[in-house]
Amino acid sequence: MPAPQLAARQRTIYIVEKIMLQRSLLTVLSLIVTLAFGAPAAFAGTNLTYSNFFPPTHAQSQLAQAWCDEVKKRTGGQVTVQYFPGQTLTPARQAYDGVVNGLSDLAMGCFAYTRGRFPAMEALDLPLGYQSGVQATKAANIFVEKIQPKELGQVVVMYVHAHGPGLLFTRDKAVATLEDMKGLKIRSHGTSAKLVKALGGVPVTLPMPDTYQSLARGVVDGSFYPVESNLGWKLAETVKFGTWSLPVAYTTSFFVVMNKARWNSLPEDVKKTIRQINQEWAGKTGATWDEADKKGLEFFLAQPGRQIIKLSPAEGRRWRKAAHPVIAEYEQSATGRGLNGKAVVKAALEALAQAGGK
């Protein structure tokens, strides 16, 4: 194992062991007090840990830190939350299981990072025509509340959120029709890769950190991504055209979940307070995605020669029709995994409609 990875792993093990030791000492102390004086009359307070894969500089990471601060403030210090951004406590792909197994009490993570683990939640990432982060986040929370996915039964969901519309950006060729897409090599992943193929392009699977160089060198002709990535990943420096492919816009959904035992250990008044904060933060999170998209668009247009291409209504219908097999494939796949695929997609579409427009 390379030295930096080994050091990071050792640091994570040290942090986890320290947390577990602190909790063991608190448990022993609580037992001593109980044996000496009887059961405590009131909640003595607790310290929670929160793991997040977003780096500390990311807007969503800063908002998560603000959630921690708000919990402490509004519980009068009864609950404090120790925050670990940038995968310093659990890696992104282990965030959910880390909560289930008690490595962290809370975590923010991405459902798509463990493809197949969350079959119902995958429906939210389909090209349903999302218009904004606020809309996508509202729809995601309505969806979870409505169908109560069994796959989330091992944890307590604080809230979920989703970024703004995933759109097409290209290097040298403007794309205004399906014919323009034919044969273009488009960086994508998961659902967006299936969308690229359905639209006539050639999907090229690449992680986001490799996207800039791949676009700059012409390894790929374009990429699907949310507008905020133009600034966040500086991709606007590598692409000239943005196709507002809103009729088939997808999103990526994220979770904020808590360990069941730790949640159940909290008094009802504290739970009520945290639920209220969760409702507020879901709205803040959607708005933060949209603000990031706004800045990403401004950065894109500030580059010389950049151009936004809007699909005509008729062309938009063509794209929606071309993308339908992606949704149909999901329905079949979900049914094969024990769900009612059509019902799940219907619930996602109804949630999107209930969430309203921008």
φ and ψ at residue 258, rounded to 5 degrees? -130, 145
**Helix, strand, or coil here: 144?**
helix
Range of the domain at 72: 3-163+252-291
pLDDT digits (tens, 9 = 90+) for 35-71: 444 434 456 789 999 999 999 989 999 999 999 999 9
| Same-domain status, 185 and 223 | yes
| Same-domain status, 183 and 281 | no
Residue with tokens 């796949």: 333
Does residue 297 belong to any structural domain of this protein?
no
| Same-domain status, 87 and 154 | yes
| Same-domain status, 121 and 213 | no
| Same-domain status, 225 and 107 | no
pLDDT digits (tens, 9 = 90+) for 120-140: 999 999 999 999 999 999 999
Does residue 122 belong to any structural domain of this protein?
yes
Residue with tokens 């897409």: 181
Looking up residue 158, the CATH number of its domain turns out to be 3.40.190.170
Q: CA dist 197 to 43, 51, 225, 355, Å?
A: 56, 35, 16, 29
| Same-domain status, 213 and 316 | yes
Does residue 86 belong to any structural domain of this protein?
yes
Among residues 104, 117, 89, 120, which one has the least CA distance to residue 13? 89
| Same-domain status, 108 and 196 | no
Q: CA dist 19 to 45, 66, 227, 275, 354, Å?
A: 16, 21, 38, 25, 42
Give the global pTM.
Answer: 0.86
pLDDT digits (tens, 9 = 90+) for 199-221: 999 999 988 889 999 999 999 99
Does residue 300 belong to any structural domain of this protein?
no
| Same-domain status, 258 and 245 | no
